[in-house]
Structure 1
Amino acid sequence: MELGTCAFLERHDNVLIVGPTGVGKSHVAQALGHRACFSALYVGAHEMLTHLRAARGDGSYDKRLLRFTSPDLLIIDDLGLRGLTQEEPMDLYEVVRQRYERRSTVITSNRSIEELPPLFGAPLMASAAMDRLLHHSHVLVIEGDSFSKPSPSLRRKPSASETR
């Protein structure tokens, strides 16, 4: 309920939302972005890192990085859905570092908090990134069944005429 007030934005707190597929992590993150009366950017982790990788190639890295570090609220969806390659761990660290105590970041992940550090590759960079992400943060662990797979008690049973 406290996150719904968006006071975390004024304090520059982060929000990490973790849990299995289909439990509503992205929905909660989007609701926070919609509720915020601040500038907000919602982006998939893969999309953000792809943009930063391309910016390295065309010389627009600093400008592109600013796109992800300047909004009051950055929502990074599905972090860790796939492993990070090449410069992606450094790019993610740079976004986290530049936003630390200046802006709020919401991250959703299917991975547990303990599974996130290996994404950064180097243990020292992982430690620095996780320290910044978790300091002044709210961690929501959502458990349950996927909303896309109804529980057996809610599934429609075929009628007698359908089973013939």
Structure 2
Amino acid sequence: MHGSDLMLSYQSWIIVTIEGWTGALIRSLSQGNWLTLKQNILLTGATGSGKTFLACALGHNACRQGYKVYYYRLKALMEQCYQGHADGRYSKLLTRLNNSDLLLLDDWGLEPLSSEQRSDLLEIVDLMYQRGSIIVVSQLPVENWYKMIGDSTHADAILDRLVHGSIKIELKGESMRKIQSPLTEGDQ
């Protein structure tokens, strides 16, 4: 995880009010049973709703509990896969991910996946399946992920491993950035 992400914690998350979600749910997630059960978490919602903040808080909490955690924006992970195929480091990337307990995939679905990216993503999701957990962070509702992935065979395989038995959380409400920023003359 990035250093700035490590500064986020459950204590700071709990004081943030997110429409439709209680501190009790967040505290329940902080106990980490979902990690023991190898469950995935699918966080969806509009821009600024706190998805990445919550995902990083969950990741930070997992680190504090002794779990090995990696954070990637999906595009950056796909770029590392591409480079890894070119320079022979792809297997090292897979080994690193295989040794993790939790993989955070942020900005899921910002753009469609290429054929190579679909194959790499399937390999990574399959690698984590039933031996670790994945948190997916997306502006897209889960029902739109199939189209984003593209090819039906890959989409079926990826989503079957990610979605079934997962914890689905949709964050609602105004942008946290908007709420936290001071009003300017143009905003009034």
Bin for the TM-score computed over the shorter chain = 0.7 to 0.9
Distance 1:28 1:113 in 2: 18
Distance 1:156 1:25 in 2: 23
1:55 alignment partner AA: G
SS state at 1:116 partner? helix
Structure with greater helix percent: 2
- Structure showing greater Rg: 1
Residue of structure 2 equivalent to 1:9? 35
| TM-score, scaled relative to structure 1 | 0.88
Residue of structure 2 equivalent to 1:99? 128
Q: Is the 8 A contact 2:112 2:150 kept in 1?
A: no
State the Cα RMSD in Å: 1.8
1:24 alignment partner AA: G
- Between stretches 77-86 and 140-149, larger displacement belongs to 77-86
SS state at 1:17 partner? strand
| TM-score, scaled relative to structure 2 | 0.77
The alignment covers a number of residue pairs equal to 156
1:132 aligns with one of 139, 161, 168: 161
Residue of structure 1 equivalent to 2:150? 121
SS state at 1:136 partner? coil
Q: Is the 8 A contact 2:73 2:106 kept in 1?
A: yes
2:83 aligns with one of 26, 49, 54: 54
- Output aligned runs, 1:1-164, within 5 Å: 1=25, 2-36=28-62, 37=65, 38-150=67-179, 156=183
Gaps of 5+ in 1: 159-164
